[in-house]
Copies of this chain bind each other. A is one copy, B any other.
Amino acid sequence: MVEDATAAVPGHVTLAFSVHRDGDPVRAGSRGVGIAIDEPVRVTVGSGTGQSLNGEAVAIEAVERVLGALDVDGAVRVATALPLGTGFGVSGAAALGTALAANRAFGCGRTDEDLVRTAHVAEVEAGTGLGDVVAQARGGVVLRLEAGAPPHGRLDGIPEVAPLEFRTLGTLSTPDVLEGDTAAITRAGEAALEAVAAEPTLERAFAAGRTFARTTGLLDPEVEAVIEAVEATGGSAAMAMLGRTVVAIDAGLSAAGHEAVPTAVSRRGARLVEDGGAFDG
> Are A161 and B111 interface neighbours, CB within 8 A?
no
> Are B157 and A112 interface neighbours, CB within 8 A?
yes
Asked, given contacts A143-B111, A281-B264, A281-B267, whether A160 binds B272 with beta carbons under 8 Å apart, the answer is yes
Which residues of B sit under 8 angstroms from A154, Cβ to Cβ? 151
> Are A274 and B201 interface neighbours, CB within 8 A?
no
> Are B115 and A159 interface neighbours, CB within 8 A?
yes
Query: Could you tell me which residues of chain A, from 234 to 270, have a CB within 8 Å of some CB in chain B?
Result: 264-269
A71 contacts B by Cβ under 8 Å: no
**Chain B CB within 10 Å, residue with most, of A265, A266, A271, A273:** A271
A100 contacts B by Cβ under 8 Å: yes
Contact with B along A142-180 (1 / 0, CB 8 A): 010000001100101111111100000000000000000
A103 contacts B by Cβ under 8 Å: yes
A127 contacts B by Cβ under 8 Å: no
Cα separation A94 to B61 with both chains bound (whole Å) = 45
Cα separation A268 to B139 with both chains bound (whole Å) = 10
> Are A111 and B159 interface neighbours, CB within 8 A?
yes
Asked, given contacts A279-B264, A281-B38, whether A156 binds B199 with beta carbons under 8 Å apart, the answer is no
> Are B200 and A159 interface neighbours, CB within 8 A?
no
A65 contacts B by Cβ under 8 Å: no
Which residues of B sit under 8 angstroms from A266, Cβ to Cβ? 281
A113 contacts B by Cβ under 8 Å: yes
Q: How many copies does the complex hold?
A: 2
Which residues of B sit under 8 angstroms from A158, Cβ to Cβ? 111-112
Cα separation A113 to B163 with both chains bound (whole Å) = 23
**Chain B CB within 10 Å, residue with most, of A103, A112, A160:** A112
> Are A199 and B159 interface neighbours, CB within 8 A?
no
Contact of A267 among B151, B200, B271 (CB under 8 A): B271
Asked, given contacts A110-B200, A111-B143, whether A161 binds B272 with beta carbons under 8 Å apart, the answer is yes
Cα separation A281 to B104 with both chains bound (whole Å) = 25
Contact of A159 among B103, B163, B274, B279 (CB under 8 A): B103
Cα separation A265 to B201 with both chains bound (whole Å) = 31
> Are A109 and B279 interface neighbours, CB within 8 A?
no
> Are A279 and B111 interface neighbours, CB within 8 A?
no
A34 contacts B by Cβ under 8 Å: no
A40 contacts B by Cβ under 8 Å: no
> Are A100 and B159 interface neighbours, CB within 8 A?
yes
**Chain A residues within 8 Å of B, Cβ to Cβ:** 38, 100, 103-104, 109-115, 140, 143, 150-151, 154, 156-163, 197, 199-201, 264-269, 271-274, 279, 281
